[in-house]
Amino acid sequence: MSKNEDELEEYRVKVREWIRNNVPEEISAKGDMAPPEVLREWQRKIYEAGYLGVSWPKEYGGWGENPIKEIIVREEFAKAGVPYATVGLGVSVVGPAIILNGTEEQKKKYIRRILTAEDIWCQGFSEPQAGSDLAGIKTKAEDKGDHFLVNGQKIWSSYAHLANYCLLLTRTGDVSERHKGLTMLIVDMKSEGIRISPIKQITGRSEFNTLYFNNVKVPKENVVGKVGEGWKVAMSTLNYERLNIGTILFTVERLIRELSINNEQLFNTAEDIIALKSFYKRILERLKKGYIAGPEAAVIKLVASEAIQRVYENAMSNAGIEGLVMEREPGFRPEIAYGLLASRAITIAGGTSEILRNLLGEVVLGLPKG
């Protein structure tokens, strides 16, 4: 092992020990089913210990460390089955988008508060008629001089009912312009004209929401990137979301080990995870040199999301009638039943498996567009 590898391994051990010694009882018992305020306090504790925003710039509230250390932290939390910044999309999606594309003022105003969970963020991308085809969105942001006037509808907005802010993809050009007519905005969720409607999920929870915008005023300084370049911002956002979702490969590995699973039936899945971990390490080496994740993130997300569904399906088939029990007392969450239901969304979030296969076919293999 090189000196650098030794240091990273020592860091990994340190993170593992910190998790073991600091997880609150309620977090340990309920995981991401714990009340939002408990999860926010837990996120602040992780940040204050130096394990959140590990690679984010120091001048905006991060710790300025090696990007590989950030991934090590995510790995260890996933392996331990402990939630990591699970309230809102600030850490996983919005923070990287603002760091890469935002103004100095935006970075100074929002980044640290994302890490401390003082602000909770949601994302407004998909629409009822534009989910997989994101370039087909119709939510309009009309230029009114010193502000935009937003009208439209978004759907599947996670944590919007808790959020202070929304990273909103809007159309500032004509629909015929597709990718070229989009602009990314930061919207204060307390703005007049916003209505939130929760969506009941098969898990019994309502983390997803429909958002309605009726003449919502958004100041010009809230543009992320440039007017008309919202697609570029959206793609950088989605790549980070996919890479973060991809860390579930460590959850898959833990589940195969801990749950009553027939490993023989999951032999191919286990092999996929071994190969994916090697690929993941290659991405980390490139991140260390300043590389920004691209199509590789789609590969990680595609394989890991489908693998976790297979694991839960296998576990449920071996669990017997007990596996069907969803709730025995308030707060009770059986790992298998809830996990099986929740995993259905993983192949949709961050781009459906079908869209990712098309993306990889076009961008990596050079195949013609369908």
| Catalytic positions | 241
CA 276 from chain centre, in angstroms, equals 19
Amino acid at 339: G
List, in order, residues 6 or more apart from 325 with CB less than 8 Å away: 334, 337
Which pair of structure tokens corresponds to residue 47? 């940040």
Check if the beta carbon of residue 293 is closer than 8 Å to that of residue 240: yes
Look at residues 169, 184, 283, 300 and name the one whose alpha carbon lies nearest to residue 242. 300
Which pair of structure tokens corresponds to residue 177? 């312009």
- CA atoms of 260 and 243, how far apart (whole Å): 28
In three-state secondary structure terms, 209 is strand
| Exposure string over 235-252, b if 16+ CB within 10 A, otherwise e | ebbbbbbbbbbbbbbbbb
Tell me the DSSP string of 36-77.
HHHHHHHHHHHHHTT-SSTTS-GGGTS----HHHHHHHHHHH
Tell me the DSSP string of 119-169.
S-EEEE--BTTBSS-GGG---EEEE-SSEEEEEEEE---TTTTT-SEEEEE
